[in-house]
Structure 1
Amino acid sequence: MSTFSPLQRLPLHVVDLIVKHVTGSSRLVYDGVLPNSHEYRVLLKPLLWVCHNLRAVAYPLFCHDFELNLSSLPFDDLDEYYLKAPATHIDYRYRNHLGYSTHHMAKDVTIFLDELAVFNGKALDTLSSVPYDDCTFPLARKLMLVLVNGTDGEADDDYGTDEDLGCKEDAGADEAFGIDPQRVEDNIGSLVERIKQMAPVASEYSVRPVLRRNPSVLDQYCSNLVSRLYQLASRIDHGRTFDFVDHVELQVELIRNLTHVSYVSGSSMSNSYQYIQLARNSAPTLQSLALGSEPDIYIQGIVMDADGNHVSYPCLHTLAIWEMGDSLGSERPVFKGAAPFPILRRLRISIDVPFGDDTLFRGNAATLEAIDMQLDIESISMFRKYKVFVPGSHPRLQVVKFWHKNNSGSELLSEVSSIMNDIGQRATVCQYSQWGFVKDPESTLSFFGSRANIQVLTLSSLAPTLWQVITLIQSLPLLSDLRTSEPSLKPLPDGVDLDLLSEHVRSKYAPMGRRFRCWHITKRDGSNMEEIASCVLLLALACPNFGYAALSGRWRRQFMNAMKKKIGEPEFEQDTPRLNRLLFDGWESRKPLDI
Structure 2
Amino acid sequence: MAHLVCDDSGCPIAYPGLSHLTLIQWSVERLPSKPSTSSNQIPFPRLRSLKIDMEHPFGDNTLFRGNCGTLESLQMALDCITINMLKRNEVFAAGKYAKLRNIYIRSIDQESEVESIPDYIYQSFVLKMSPKAQIFTDQEVMIDQSKVALFCNSPNLADLRVLNLPSLALHMTSLVPLLKGLRRLERLECSSLVGDLDIDADCMHAAHFPLASRLRLLSLTSYDDEHNDAFGCIMLLALVCPVLTHCRMSYGWRESFNSFVQGTVETAPYSLCRDRLMALKYINEQQ
Bin of the TM-score, shorter chain as denominator length: 0.7 to 0.9
Q: Which of 469, 478, 481 is 2:187 aligned to?
A: 481
AA at the equivalent of 1:336: S
State whether structure 2 residue 115 is matched by structure 1 residue 419.
no
C-alpha distance in structure 2 between counterparts of 1:351 and 1:399, whole Å: 18
SS in 2 for 1:464: strand
Determine which structure has the larger strand proportion and give its number: 2
* Partner residue in 2 for 1:552: 250
State whether structure 2 residue 138 is matched by structure 1 residue 436.
no
Task: Label 1:330 to 1:482 Cα distance change in 2 as closer, same or farther (>3 A).
Answer: farther
Report the Cα offset of residue 330 of structure 1. 7.7
Q: Which of 192, 204, 217 is 1:518 aligned to?
A: 217
Q: Deviations over 1:8-51 (max 9, x none)?
A: xxxxxxxxxxxxxxxxxxxxxxxxxxxxxxxxxxxxxxxxxxxx
SS in 2 for 1:507: helix
**What is the percentage of aligned positions where both structures have the same residue?**
26
TM-score by length of 1: 0.43
* Partner residue in 2 for 1:543: 241
AA at the equivalent of 2:250: S
User: Is the Cα contact below 8 Å between 2:149 and 2:177 reproduced in 1?
Assistant: no
* Partner residue in 2 for 1:446: 149
User: Is the Cα contact below 8 Å between 2:56 and 2:77 reproduced in 1?
Assistant: no
Q: Deviations over 1:243-282 (max 9, x none)?
A: xxxxxxxxxxxxxxxxxxxxxxxxxxxxxxxxxxxxxxxx
Q: How does 1:83-98 map to 2 (within 5 A)?
A: none
Report the Cα offset of residue 423 of structure 1. 2.5
AA at the equivalent of 1:490: D
C-alpha distance in structure 2 between counterparts of 1:355 and 1:485, whole Å: 33
SS in 2 for 1:354: coil
User: Is the Cα contact below 8 Å between 1:474 and 1:513 reproduced in 2?
Assistant: yes
AA at the equivalent of 1:427: K
C-alpha distance in structure 2 between counterparts of 1:561 and 1:322, whole Å: 44
C-alpha distance in structure 1 between counterparts of 2:190 and 2:270, whole Å: 24
Report the Cα offset of residue 561 of structure 1. 2.8
Q: Which of 61, 73, 76 is 1:370 aligned to?
A: 73
* Partner residue in 2 for 1:319: 21
Report the Cα offset of residue 407 of structure 1. 3.8
SS in 1 for 2:118: helix
C-alpha distance in structure 1 between counterparts of 2:4 and 2:213, whole Å: 45
* Partner residue in 1 for 2:52: 349
AA at the equivalent of 2:56: V
User: Is the Cα contact below 8 Å between 1:330 and 1:354 reproduced in 2?
Assistant: no
Task: Label 1:333 to 1:477 Cα distance change in 2 as closer, same or farther (>3 A).
Answer: same
* Partner residue in 2 for 1:402: 105
Q: Which of 226, 233, 256 is 1:527 aligned to?
A: 226
Report the Cα offset of residue 589 of structure 1. 4.8
Range with greater deviation from structure 2 (414-423 or 352-361): 414-423
**Which 5+ residue runs of structure 2 have no aligned equivalent?**
none
C-alpha distance in structure 2 between counterparts of 1:408 and 1:390, whole Å: 24
State whether structure 2 residue 170 is matched by structure 1 residue 464.
yes
C-alpha distance in structure 2 between counterparts of 1:330 and 1:451, whole Å: 37
Report the Cα offset of residue 567 of structure 1. 2.7
Range with greater deviation from structure 2 (532-541 or 392-401): 392-401
State whether structure 2 residue 278 is matched by structure 1 residue 575.
no
Report the Cα offset of residue 463 of structure 1. 2.8
Q: Deviations over 1:445-502 (max 9, x none)?
A: 2233333514433333433333332222112223332222332341745xxxxxxx33
SS in 2 for 1:462: strand
User: Is the Cα contact below 8 Å between 1:400 and 1:427 reproduced in 2?
Assistant: no
TM-score by length of 2: 0.83
C-alpha distance in structure 1 between counterparts of 2:198 and 2:276, whole Å: 25
**Which 5+ residue runs of structure 1 have no aligned equivalent?**
1-298, 494-500
SS in 1 for 2:169: coil
* Partner residue in 2 for 1:503: 202
Task: Label 1:428 to 1:457 Cα distance change in 2 as closer, same or farther (>3 A).
Answer: closer
C-alpha distance in structure 2 between counterparts of 1:569 and 1:491, whole Å: 15
User: Is the Cα contact below 8 Å between 1:330 and 1:353 reproduced in 2?
Assistant: no
Task: Label 1:472 to 1:395 Cα distance change in 2 as closer, same or farther (>3 A).
Answer: closer
Report the Cα offset of residue 326 of structure 1. 5.2
Q: How does 1:302-341 map to 2 (within 5 A)?
A: 302-325=4-27, 327=29, 329=31, 331-337=33-39, 338-341=41-44
Q: Deviations over 1:146-205 (max 9, x none)?
A: xxxxxxxxxxxxxxxxxxxxxxxxxxxxxxxxxxxxxxxxxxxxxxxxxxxxxxxxxxxx
Report the Cα offset of residue 558 of structure 1. 2.7
C-alpha distance in structure 1 between counterparts of 2:142 and 2:18, whole Å: 37
Task: Label 1:543 to 1:350 Cα distance change in 2 as closer, same or farther (>3 A).
Answer: same
AA at the equivalent of 2:15: Y
Report the Cα offset of residue 367 of structure 1. 2.0
C-alpha distance in structure 1 between counterparts of 2:193 and 2:140, whole Å: 17
AA at the equivalent of 2:215: F
* Partner residue in 2 for 1:251: none
Q: Which has the larger radius of gyration?
A: 1
Q: Which of 83, 92, 106 is 1:380 aligned to?
A: 83
AA at the equivalent of 2:222: K
AA at the equivalent of 2:132: A
Report the Cα offset of residue 540 of structure 1. 1.0
Task: Label 1:393 to 1:528 Cα distance change in 2 as closer, same or farther (>3 A).
Answer: closer
Report the Cα offset of residue 347 of structure 1. 1.2
AA at the equivalent of 1:474: K
* Partner residue in 2 for 1:237: none
AA at the equivalent of 2:19: H
AA at the equivalent of 1:482: L
SS in 2 for 1:460: strand
Bigger relative CO (Cα 8 Å, ≥ 6 apart): 2
C-alpha distance in structure 2 between counterparts of 1:503 and 1:309, whole Å: 69
C-alpha distance in structure 2 between counterparts of 1:394 and 1:330, whole Å: 30
Report the Cα offset of residue 581 of structure 1. 2.4
Q: What is the root-mean-square deviation of aligned Cα atoms in Å?
A: 2.8
C-alpha distance in structure 2 between counterparts of 1:437 and 1:372, whole Å: 15
Determine which structure has the larger helix proportion and give its number: 1
